[in-house]
Amino acid sequence: MFQPPPFRADHVGSLLRPARLLQLRRRVERGEVAPAALAEAENIAIAEAVALQERVGLKLATDGEFRRRSYHSYFYRQLGDVAPDAIAAETGASAGGRGAQPQAVINSKLKWTHPIHVDDFRLLQSLTRAIPKITIPGPCALHFRGGDAAVTATAYDDVDEFWDDTVAAFRSELEALAAAGCSYVQIDETAFAKFGDPEVQTHLAARGDPWSALIDRYIAITNRVLRGLPDTLHVAMHLCRGNRGGQWHSQGSYDAVADKLFNELAIKAYFLEYDSPRAGDFSPLRLVPRDKTIVLGLVSTKTPVLEDKDALQRRIAEASRYLPIECMAISPQCGFASVETGNPIAPEMQEAKLRLVVELAQEQWGSA
């Protein structure tokens, strides 16, 4: 029997920010409004986001990542003077095209000094009977966006010390969430899906990081983060190829990484992007152990068009040629707003897509 989480109908985490919230944030930055007003507005917007998720029939609830500028920057900036996207790459790509990958800057050592998302969990817990879901960036995000050179440019002489600090910080946060009663965390990891892109492989090799060696390092680091965590904490991983204003950062199937990803990484549930031909076919799912869950990201958060339910049902049937349907679930392929400006989708379409995911799960599995 399917044991949540994840749920048959799930979603990656971020939701479109209300325009009034973005406007208020700019006013706070200009010193026109006190920060306390922003915190109050965020709480109200989060309550509305929770109501949306309940309204469409989801069994989980996130805070929409409404306190964050991006899915990763808030978390990492609590660990020191670091930023995964400090250097914005030049790009002329429009929505639907390949955007350039930002670069990380690491100006200090990493240190966890306080719980980062425990208060977010407690707020969700107070707002809903659904299962609160907390999303955090992957522990390899900084390194992926800069390599050893970014690590040793200012803050570290020893890359191994950087990894030790990374593992300690992420374990401390996960342990704090578990102690607070959190049962569902999703790691948003961009590296693993991007390793299959020849352009990304060339870029990594040019900086001295052959992707085939880097994947082994990243799996080892992630497994160190996960080792020995309480059994009450269910940790899933979302694999992303980039999701910024409707743009993407990589393409390529899961073939190159599937065996190690599914069999060496100590993750029980994977959110896989399968919303476009850029992801390849479903054949890598044949390598998934039968005690793991694949959440098929079939509904696009990048396009303002509602998918056809019959076409999605056919895609699930196609995936089931390689993996039993009881090992699967469905979700949008990514968040609706990995950065605060969001994807080019109207709030009404966001709700329609979330409702479609729930309806499809109910028809396929008898439950969302």
- The per-residue pLDDT for 92 is 46
Is residue 2 in a domain?
Answer: no
- Closest to 297 in 3D by CA, of 348, 238, 339, 358: 238
Question: According to the model, what pLDDT value does residue 197 have?
Answer: 85
Tell me if 349 sits within 8 A of 1, measured CB to CB: no
d(CA 81, CA 90): 23
Domain membership flag for residue 12: no
The 10s digit of each residue's pLDDT in 107-116 is 999 999 999 9
Question: Average pLDDT over the chain, rounded to whole?
Answer: 92
Domain hosting residue 222, numbered range: 19-365
Could you give the CA distance from residue 167 to residue 112 in angstroms, rounded to a whole number?
Answer: 10
Q: Among 2-6, 51-55, 224-228, 313-317, which stretch is predicted with the lowest mean pLDDT?
A: 2-6
Under the banding of pLDDT at 50, 70 and 90, the label for residue 91 is very low
pTM recorded for the entire structure: 0.92
Confidence of residue 97 (pLDDT cuts 50, 70, 90): low
Structure-token pair, residue 197 = 């892109």
In a domain, 245, yes or no: yes
Question: Residue 10: inside a domain, yes or no?
Answer: no
Q: Is residue 69 part of a domain?
A: yes
Structural domain count of the chain: 1
Q: What is the CATH number of the domain that holds 211?
A: 3.20.20.210
Residue 4 lies in a domain: no
Q: Is there a contact between 14 and 71 (Cβ–Cβ < 8 Å)? A: yes
pLDDT confidence of residue 161: 98
The pLDDT score that the predictor gives to residue 86 is 66
Residue type, 88: A
Weakest-pLDDT range from 29-38, 86-95, 320-329, 331-340: 86-95
